[in-house]
Amino acid sequence: MLFGILSIAMALGACSQSVSSTEDDDPASLNGPKKNKVSSSSRINEKSSSSRSTEKSDEEDCSGESGEPWDGTTAKDFACGTGTKLSPYIILTAEQLARLSFLVNASEKAYSGKYFKLGADILLNKGKVIDSKGALVADSAKLHKWTPIGNSSVSFDGNFDGDGHTISGMFINTTSTHNGLFGNSQGTVQNLTVDNSWVYGGKYTAGVVGYNRGTVKIISNYASITSLNGPVGGIVGGTEDSYGNVNVLDSLSNWGVIKGKTDVGGVLGFVDRIKLSYSKNYGLVEGEKYTGGIWGGAQSTTIDASYLVNYGKIIGRINTGGLAGYCGHYGLGSKYSAKCGTLKNLRNEGSVQGETYVGGIAGSFGGKASSISNVASILGTNYVGGLFGNADFSTTNLIYNTGNISGSQNVGGIVGYNQEGVTSSAYSTGKVDGDSLVGLMIGYNYNTTMADYYYLERGKQEPFGLNNGGGVATPKTEDEMKSKDFAKLLGDEFVYESGLNDGYPVFSWEKE
């Protein structure tokens, strides 16, 4: 949604502002998504932006007709500011935003590490660019093409604060790499919404940052994103750091339709060495290999992800998950596969459809996970599970599934194929259908250490399709599972709340 045109008086005020701070906001409801932009973003325990601060800076006049559609040219100067933290360069027009793109891509060292802030909404193309299903409806021949800030050889290394504003009408249509509002960034990008935009490109394509080695936070994307291959994501295409740093990503929400071939994610495409928190996907995500609601593919023991929720429909082929396509797993049965880091407080509410390795949380998983849940239907062929299609050498506890699971072989309410892990405090109530190696808890279980596994009785159906190497699960009736005593039996992280989850126990963080 576009805000009103800012007056010159507001522009003067914008020039005197400093970089935005953050403060706590109310948690989002579990009852479903609410379409809000950055300035009033919904989230579970999400930190929202305090978009306006009052520290004084240089008193100088800002100039530029804010809110006007881009004419395709590049401004000679920014509206005002000196590029410092207390006096950032203020951008009021699309022409001034284009100036930032030119300076970064031209490697103008005088602007390296500087501070930039939006003082108004930016309109790159007027009119409707995409429809409600994410399809391009504008005449592409009449649209101004956006040149991303940073490219395959040059990265943005400054601090960009959207200050709660919206950039809309962005149009990118190319086969090249590093696409988005920013093509390549190792700086900070924050407090921004991208709306009514179309991005089509090659490797590292996204709505906001194509390739990231920095900080990205408090961002919403409503753009339609398509990649010839991948990685591709709603907010960030690929994020990693070969220098030993951990990239911080926080409070990211995607509403756009995301499509690609590999490493396709609603929020992030491919991730490595990250700290990710309080992020959500509401959009449709379609891919072929490594497709997920939050990210497509991930590796590294330094992944720290928490408070993530997917509401969108996820469609893929190989390694498809409600939250992640894969996380730290390369080969079935190999303890030498790369390990994922730690996942905590994750929830999937969107239906997931794939072929091989399909799960409500991840298609394939090898790492540590706790307080995770799936409540949606999961459909696949082989290695299909309510939480994980395949889990190798993983440690999981405090987990549950209430969704219905359907597949052909290696199909389970919690995990389709589970090998040499440690798992505890789990329950599953969903229907589980398949042809062979089908279990209400685990399809095929091999040499796993287990404790406190419970499932809803469904006639003569067994908890394991094949239990090779130990582990037991206990049947319960519906009345038993919808009780305070059952919640206590599962552990302190579970709570009883009759109005949530059809009466089955939920995690305390889900209730908040």
Cα distance between residue 266 and residue 329, in whole Å: 20
Cα distance between residue 129 and residue 15, in whole Å: 31
Name the 3-class secondary structure at 501: helix
Element housing 7 (H / E): none
Name the 3-class secondary structure at 106: coil
In the chain, the amino acid numbered 27 is P
Cα distance between residue 160 and residue 147, in whole Å: 17
Backbone phi and psi for residue 508, each to the nearest 5 degrees, phi listed first: -60, -35
Other Cβ atoms less than 10 A from the Cβ of 455: the count is 27
Give the strands of the sheet with 205-206, arranged side by side: 205-206, 232-233, 262-265, 289-292, 318-321, 356-359, 382-385, 409-412, 436-439
474-482 own/partner pairs: CB under 8 Å, 24+ apart: 476/427, 478/429, 481/427, 481/429, 481/454, 481/456, 481/505
For residue range 182-216, list pLDDT tens digits in order.
999 999 999 999 999 999 999 999 999 999 999 99
Name the residue with tokens 């990265």.
155
Q: Three-state SS string across 401-431, please?
A: ECCCEECCEEEECCEEEEECCEEEEEEECCC
Q: Which residues pair with 464 in a beta bridge?
A: 442
CA nearest neighbour of 391 among 373, 368, 372, 364: 364
Separation in Å, CA 482 to CA 9, 348, 506, 509: 59, 21, 11, 19
CA nearest neighbour of 235 among 290, 197, 287: 197
pLDDT of residue 302: 84
Name the residue with tokens 């500011």.
81
- Residue 111 is classified by DSSP as G
Name the residue with tokens 């394509």.
205
pLDDT of residue 464: 97
Q: Do residues 181 and 17 lie in contact, with contact meaning Cβ atoms separated by under 8 Å?
A: no
Other Cβ atoms less than 10 A from the Cβ of 403: the count is 24
Which tokens in the block code for residue 49? 């932006």
Separation in Å, CA 270 to CA 16, 148, 480: 38, 19, 42
pTM score, whole prediction: 0.89
Cα distance between residue 306 and residue 496, in whole Å: 22
Other Cβ atoms less than 10 A from the Cβ of 196: the count is 24
Q: CA dihedral defined by 363, 366, 370, 372, rounded to 10 degrees? A: 0
Name the residue with tokens 């004084």.
56
Report residues of the chain scoring pLDDT below 50. Answer: 1-59, 330, 332-333, 335-336
Instruction: Give me the DSSP letters along 346-395.
Output: EEE-S-EE-SEEEESSEEEE-SEEEEEEE-S-EE-SEEEESSEEEEES-E
CA nearest neighbour of 172 among 164, 185, 162, 182: 182
Name the 3-class secondary structure at 442: strand
Element housing 102 (H / E): helix 94-105
In the chain, the amino acid numbered 241 is D
CA nearest neighbour of 212 among 278, 176, 160, 144: 160
pLDDT of residue 13: 45
pLDDT of residue 360: 98
